[in-house]
Structure 1
Amino acid sequence: MLDINEIQKILPHRYPFLLVDRILEVQPGKKVVGLKNVTANEQFFNGHFPGHPIMPGVLIIEAMAQVAGVGLLTTVDNPEEKVPYFARIEDARFKHPVKPGDQLIFEVEVVKLRRGIGKVAAKALVDGEIVTEATLTCAIQDK
């Protein structure tokens, strides 16, 4: 398990764009599970949408990618010198809205990992129900 301080040693993201609170499980090159507590204090709720706060789907995808980035960076030497970049988003599906008070669990499984390119199947769940899923491809590059 990785807490926020350990995540920040791996990922370059910082507040307000670091969208992962904890990594619950890492199987390098295979699987990673992360967590985000969605609070009413999130900046994006001010405009999305006033009186009916919904977490933007693109931020759920970004959070899944950050969890994937942690998992992929655990497979390389000197991960603090690397950065994961989006290369592709495929088959994104948004099934249910995510609201303040929800706890997102991200389950990311590595489909393919080769020469610094990782393809993952990612799911975001709330209370055990899939709210978002997508296939993501990330490229691991030097900073």
Structure 2
Amino acid sequence: MDIQEVMRRLPHRYPFLLVDRVLECRPGVSIRALKNVTFNEPFFTGHFPNRPVFPGVIILEALAQAAGILGFVTAGIYPDGQSQLYFVGVDKSRFRRPVVPGDSLILQAKLERSLRGIWKFSTIADVDGEEVASAEIMIALGS
């Protein structure tokens, strides 16, 4: 999926759209997406002024957005104001090394289960094949 299709699949927009491209999507199974980290990200001026580090909470949001795309594709719906996915939980989050401008963040989410409208995903973010973060993320379909 190019950026135009990503924008059809997610309601987020600048500066909070954190998926640049989907590399692979297997509905009901998994997704691999890309976030290019540039020095122009708005939070780098304050996080941190002399050593820019991509905030861990933003990595989690990027992983949730990738999982959200997988959720929308799996459900066969688009965000339209009537159908929406909500980030409802995160467990077992770990950060292994800083992400900095120039990194290409690969976002991976695997659907683990669906129960009563809540989907649980195992997620991993990596840079150059090295895991930088991971978490279990829960998303709910709502209106």
**TM-score scaled to structure 1, two decimals?**
0.95
Match of residue 34 from structure 2:
35
Query: In the comparison of the two structures, how many residue pairs are matched?
Result: 141
Counterpart amino acid of 2:49? Answer: P
Q: Which residue of 2 aligns with 1:133?
A: 134
Alpha-carbon distance, 1:84 to partner: 1.5
Report the residue type matching 2:132 in the other structure. V
Q: TM-score, normalised by structure 2?
A: 0.95
Residue 121 of structure 1: SS of its match in structure 2? strand
Gaps in structure 1 of 5+ consecutive residues: none
AA matched with 1:114: L
Give yes or no for contact 1:73–1:140 (8 Å, CA) kept in 2: no
Which residue number in structure 2 is paired with residue 97 of structure 1? 98
Separation in structure 2 between the aligned mates of residue 55 and residue 27 of structure 1, nearest angstrom: 28
Q: Gaps spanning 5+ residues in structure 2: where?
A: none
Deviations 1:65-99 (A, max 9, x none): 00000001112243233222111100000000000
Query: Matched residues, percent identical?
Result: 48
Using the alignment, how far apart are the partners of 1:11 and 1:84 within structure 2? 9
2:122 is matched with 121
Aligned counterparts of 2:88 and 2:38: Cα–Cα separation in 1 = 29
Question: Corresponding residue for 2:10?
Answer: 11
> Which amino acid letter does the alignment assign opposite residue 104 of structure 2?
Q
- Residues in 2 aligned to 1:18 and 1:116: alpha-carbon distance in whole angstroms: 24
CA RMSD of aligned residues (A): 1.0
1:58-77 equivalences in 2 (<5 Å): 58-77=57-76
